[in-house]
Chain A
Amino acid sequence: MINKVLIANRGEIAARVIRTCKKLGIKTVAVYSEADQKAPFVSMADESYLLGPPRVQESYLNTEKIIEIAKDADVDAIHPGYGFLSENGGFTEKCEQAGIIFIGPSAEVMEKMGSKIAAREAMEKAGVPVVPGTNGAVASADEAVGIARKIGYPVMLKASAGGGGIGMQVVQSDDELIKAFESNSKRAHTFFGDGAMFMEKKLDNARHIEIQLLADNYGNAIHLYERECSIQRRNQKVIEEAPSSFISEKTRTKMGKAAVKAAETLGYTSAGTIEFLVDEHEKFYFLEMNTRIQVEHPVTEEITGVDIVEQQIRIADGKELSFKQSEVTIDGHAIEARIYAEDPETFFPSPGHISVFELPTGKFIRNEVAVTADFDVTPFYDPMIGKLIVKGKDRAEAITSIKNALLDYKVEGIKTNIPMLLKVLDHEKFKNGETTTAFVDHYYLPAVKTN
Chain B
Amino acid sequence: MAEVKASMAGNVWKITVNKGDKVEEDQEVVILESMKMEIPIPAEEGGTVKELKVAEGDFVNEGDTILVIE
Contact = CB atoms under 8 A, between A and B. Distances in A.
Contacts of B33: 379
Of the four ranges (under 10, 10 to 19, 20 to 34, 35 or more), the interface on chain A belongs to 10 to 19
A382 interface: yes
A341 B36 contact: no
B27 to A, nearest CB: 16
Contacts of B36: 164, 166, 381-383
Contacts of B59: 379
A357 interface: no
A379 B32 CA distance: 11
Nearest to B60: A379
B35 interface: yes
A234 interface: yes
A351 B37 contact: no
A181 B9 CA distance: 28
Interface residues of B, number: 12
A349 interface: yes
B45 to A, nearest CB: 23
Interface in B1-37: 7-11, 33-37
Contacts of B37: 234, 347-349, 383
Contacts of B8: 348-351, 379
B39 interface: yes
Nearest to A379: B34
B57 to A, nearest CB: 9
Contact of B39 (A166, A234, A348, A382): A348
A235 to B, nearest CB: 12
A379 B9 contact: yes
A383 B59 CA distance: 17
A59 to B, nearest CB: 14
Interface in A284-308: none
A164 B38 CA distance: 13
Nearest to B11: A379
Interface centre among A341, A349, A380, A383 (most CB of B within 10 A): A349
Interface string A139-150: 000000000000
A352 B62 CA distance: 10
Interface string B30-56: 000111110100000000000000000
Contacts of A347: 37
A349 to B, nearest CB: 4
B28 to A, nearest CB: 12
Interface centre among B7, B37, B59 (most CB of A within 10 A): B37
B14 to A, nearest CB: 10
A380 B7 CA distance: 16
A350 B11 CA distance: 14
Interface of B: 7-11, 33-37, 39, 59
Given A234-B37, A381-B35, 17 more contacts: A164-B36, A347-B37, A348-B37, A349-B34, A349-B37, A350-B8, A351-B9, A351-B34, A351-B35, A352-B9, A379-B11, A379-B33, A379-B34, A379-B59, A382-B35, A383-B36, A383-B37
Interface of A: 164, 166, 234, 341-342, 347-352, 379-383
5 contacts: A164-B36, A348-B39, A349-B34, A349-B35, A379-B35
Q: Name the 5 nearest CB pairs between A and B, nearest first.
A: A349-B35, A379-B34, A383-B35, A349-B34, A379-B10
